[in-house]
Amino acid sequence: MHFLEVLLDPVSEGSNRHHGPLLLQGHSLFQLLRLSMLPWITPLLHKGEFELQSTATWVNLWGWKPSGYLVDGEALRLSVALCYGLSNSVQLRLEVPATYLTGGIMDSFIEGFHDTFGYVQAYRDAFPRNRFRVTFYAPGGGEYRLDDEDAGFALSDLILSLKWDLSQGTRYLPAVMVAPSLKIPTGDNEGGGVDGGITLYLTKRVWRLYGYFGLQYARYSKEEILGISMNPDQWIFLIGLECPLTERFSLLLQDLIHTGVTKDFYAFSESTHELALGFKYEFRKGALLEFGLIENLVNYENSPDFGFHSGLSYRFG
């Protein structure tokens, strides 16, 4: 009985979470068009309180398979979201994202970095720099191509989410949250369709560190994108670690993992690992600045080669 009392001994509100992971979703080519997990593990809002979240993420995309596909370009994803505390344990979030596709400017920097540290170019240097080009040769026949004329700014689909705090956790058990999400086809991109997902979040403080884990199951209605057959569902995992250096400043390391997005199409049928290293800084009460670098250290062909992430959140009400 004493063991159970210790195991279930409650902790003070929020002590099993701090600033939370970077608000960074998946940025592989197809994942930009579909519902992805957003690590929404920020501190709880109180009833009637608002939070305005804004992010900008810029990634370089590269992948080439002869007679299979070419992905060459950069993407800037902009997002503005409003969160509202329906109660002290339930929050509502409405996100309005947009995407800017471009040839970009990072090719020479990335090629120079690869040369300096002895990494292979993976045929990057065989193609023109700073050009936007996406070409898919569908297994059933047919070529689907996007080029500079298809680049530019486009509104993406609205995303509506609800987060329910089930438990603050204890000295030995993690805090638990669950969050259903719905992507509504209101944008101009090729994703289309209604996507839905349900996410389980676990957070726990261990010594001075905070560990974050997320598991999302997503179901998609779009069976085909750019001539390629899509998997109708997907599992998405988050593993994150926060190390506060001061009460206001934390270092963050996180990996967002998606199972294969396509049914049978080369590297896009394999899992993606999008690793991010960054920080969060509360420069004034209720105002958080975040920044991160993105790298694909596991599968080089189906996820962003390199990228930058920034964000600003502000609480009021």
Answer yes or no: is 21 within a domain: yes
Give the model's pLDDT for residue 131: 85
Answer yes or no: is 260 within a domain: yes
List residues bridging with 52 in a β-sheet: 82, 314
Contact predicate 274/306, CB 8 Å: no
Give the model's pLDDT for residue 270: 94
Answer yes or no: is 242 within a domain: yes
Please tell me whether residue 125 adopts helix, strand or coil conformation: helix
Q: Rounded to whole angstroms, how far apart are CA atoms 198 and 204?
A: 20
- Where does the chain show beta strands of DSSP type E? 50-65, 69-85, 90-102, 133-137, 143-146, 152-155, 158-167, 175-184, 195-206, 209-219, 224-225, 228-229, 233-244, 249-258, 272-284, 287-295, 306-316
Give the model's pLDDT for residue 305: 85
Q: Rounded to whole angstroms, how far apart are CA atoms 1 and 164?
A: 30
Answer yes or no: is 7 within a domain: no
**How many domains in the chain?**
1
Answer yes or no: is 196 within a domain: yes
Give the model's pLDDT for residue 250: 98
Q: For each successive 10 residues of the chain (317 residues), what is the average pLDDT?
A: 47 77 94 92 92 97 88 94 97 96 76 58 67 87 86 93 94 94 86 89 95 97 89 97 97 97 92 96 96 88 90 95
Answer yes or no: is 187 within a domain: yes
Answer yes or no: is 75 within a domain: yes
Give the model's pLDDT for residue 121: 53
Alpha helices in 106-152 (DSSP H): 107-117
Return the half-sphere exposure (C-beta side, CA atoms, 13 A cut-off) of residue 92.
Answer: 8
Name the helix (H) or strand (E) containing 7: helix 2-7
What's the domain range around 27? 14-316
What CATH number does residue 164 fall under? Answer: 2.40.160.40
pTM: 0.90
Answer yes or no: is 268 within a domain: yes
Q: Rounded to whole angstroms, how far apart are CA atoms 167 and 189?
A: 38
